[in-house]
Amino acid sequence: MKRWNGWGKESVTYLLPSRAAQFLENLLGQGTPPRDVSLVEVIQTVQVTRLPVHPLVSFDTITRLTHARGQSLPDWVALRSGKLDIFPDGVAFPLTHSDVHELISYAKQSGSRIIPYGGGTSVVGHINPQNDMVPVLTVDMSRMNRLIRFDEKSFMATFGAGVNGPDLEAQLRARGCTLGHYPQSFEHSTLGGWIATRSSGQLSLGYGSIEKLFAGGRMETPLGMLEIPPFPASAAGPDIREMVLGSEGRYGILTEATVRFTSLPESEEFYAVFFPNFEQGCEAGRIIISEHLPLSMLRLSTAAETETSLRLAGHERLIAALEKILSLRKLEREKCMLLVGSSGAETVTKMSRKIVVKIANRYGGVYIGRSFGSHWYKNRFLVPYLRNTLWAMGFAVDTVETATSWSKVSAMVHALELALRDALSDIGERVHVFTHLSHLYSTGSSIYSTFVFRIASDPDETLTRWQKLKAAACNAIVAQGGTISHQHGIGVDHMKYLQAEKGELGIAMVRNLCKTLDPEGIMNPGKLIE
């Protein structure tokens, strides 16, 4: 079963070694475990529904509660403190296109708003009902999850848009194929959600992010069905497929999507290279990416993230031995870890590893083999469970992300980390910040910073701390000329920063598109743009 007020399955726990907990306490001070409210207490706050009865709509209070928030930090504070205030009035689980059509008509007739819901893993407030005077219907797509068509010859498969990561991959893998799309939220996020938020996966360097993988589909809008044929390429005017990507539920409900898959690779490997410092690692990464090697992942951690990963990993004797070896090669406190993934024919992955190591050596890089890479691969979906463990200890953890060109990467990392580190200095609270470059491109890179801070005994104060941190980070991103999101999207939390990026005319174009498909403004209002 999924946790109702945290991340992931109730049966999975991330156990933090005691030395690792001590490491965090040394950095931030002792955490005070918060007093979280119980499910029973929160259920009592769910208001009476304002929606009329309909056979496709559930009014069950637990269902309404579990669809009320996503996974952002404000969502966590609301769920853990019981201060939700607003819930969807009903939740529907359509099975067919005509069910979705019927639900849109029902929403129009009842004067309601619709929130399309995939896996509810949004971290920017995408699926939260707004404090509106009208009823809210959440449409959970999880039952529209079937493999509809498999076109082996064209390397395309069509799925119900509500299919989640593991089910989609299982269907493709059973046929010797893979989509290769692995956001860290893979276990619970869905194909429709990935498309609507322009998601990137951990191996997107090799397989492509969702904008490359999404070939076409069907969207039920308040004005009728929008069909997007899955052409391999087209010069027939502006690309409607591109317009649907990142639409965040504002145009309609994506009911099915066709994706471009690839054959399962013959081999797949992950290994680590350590650099003397971040600048040298960055330069090596920039050169490696320009070689267009068959790599699936390049992920470069700053010194602070490298140190944090080593301390949190446990295995103290192994890490001590590694650090001794690196120290002999003059890699000390500023050392940075680059994780490399490679997939394809065995001869090709071997050859690409040789080239990567050769380039890395030029920048003082030391190849340490596959054990770290394999450990990362094995635990890549376990890491988010650390949020639950840290919360119980009295620490909150969140991330911010952006992308910018190579000439600005160093300055952006510096500005982002500084902004976050200083954001709570006025109240004497420390913030632990660490960063990695998660997706490298020939023109630049995405930048992903994690910040950990202490939870206050008053949930409102915890929220205020987060608001200061988020505003400091977003303002730094805008000031340094980065995009306000590389992969998480806009939702509510990034909305006010969007204009700086799109300009007045750009915002007007998006707004007009929403109005064209949804003239009455019933689709997920208050998200993406005002």
Ligand X SMILES: Cc1cc2nc3c(=O)[nH]c(=O)nc-3n(C[C@H](O)[C@H](O)[C@H](O)COP(=O)(O)OP(=O)(O)OC[C@H]3O[C@@H](n4cnc5c(N)ncnc54)[C@H](O)[C@@H]3O)c2cc1C
The contact set with ligand X (CB under 6 A) reads: 7, 70-71, 115-123, 126-127, 141, 161, 183-185, 189-190, 192-194, 196-197, 199-200, 248-249, 253-254, 384, 487-489, 524, 527
Phi-psi region of 447 (alpha: psi -120 to 50; beta: other; left: phi over 0): beta
Nearer to ligand X, 270 or 363 (CB): 270
Residue nearest to ligand X (CB): 193
Of 199 and 404, the one with the shorter C-beta distance to ligand X is 199
Shortest approach of ligand X to residue 239 CB, angstroms?
Answer: 18
- Minimum distance from CB of 130 to ligand X (Å)? 12
Contacts of 447 (CB under 8 A, 6+ apart): 401, 402, 403, 404, 409, 412, 413, 416, 435, 436, 437, 438, 482, 486
Tell me the two tokens of residue 208. Answer: 């492509």
Closest approach, Cβ 417 to ligand X, in A, equals: 20
Nearest alpha-carbon partner for 262 in 150, 177, 200 = 177
Tell the smallest beta-carbon distance from residue 218 to ligand X (Å): 10
Q: Which is nearer to ligand X, 363 or 395 (CB)?
A: 395
- Both tokens of 442, joined, read 């020939």
Beta carbon of residue 257, minimum distance to ligand X (angstroms, whole number): 8
**76 vs 275, which CB is nearer to ligand X?**
76
The CB-of-167 to ligand X minimum distance in angstroms stands at: 12
Residue placing its CB nearer to ligand X in the complex, 184 or 475: 184
Query: Shortest approach of ligand X to residue 68 CB, angstroms?
Result: 12
Q: Rounding to the nearest 10 degrees, give the CA dihedral for residues 517, 93, 145, 120.
A: 80
CB closer to ligand X out of 189 and 352: 189
Q: How far is the CB of 393 from ligand X (least distance, A)?
A: 18
CA distances from 277 to 302, 407, 408 (A): 8, 18, 17
Nearer to ligand X, 249 or 373 (CB): 249
Structure-block tokens of residue 356: 């990567």
Identify which of residues 160 and 285 has a Cβ nearer to ligand X in the complex.
160
Q: Which residues, 6 or more positions from 359, have their beta carbon under 8 angstroms from its beta carbon?
A: 284, 287, 288, 291, 365
Which residue in 248, 236, 303 sits closest to 114, CA to CA?
A: 248
**Between 121 and 178, whose beta carbon lies closer to ligand X?**
121
Q: In angstroms, give the least distance from the CB of 220 to ligand X.
A: 9
How far is residue 418's CA from residue 422's CA, in Å, rounded to a whole number?
6
Give the shortest CB-161-to-ligand X separation in angstroms: 4
Per DSSP, which regions of 312-358 are E strands? 336-344
DSSP character string of 23-80? HHHHHH-------PPPHHHHHTTPPPP-SPP-TTEE--HHHHHHTS--SSHHHHHHHH
Task: Please say which residue, 366 or 463, places its beta carbon nearer to ligand X.
Answer: 463
Determine the length of the chain: 530
| 395-405/444-454 β-pairing | antiparallel
Q: Shortest CA distance to 343 belongs to which of 233, 458, 203, 462?
A: 203
Quick check: 296 and 341 in contact, CB under 8 A?
A: yes
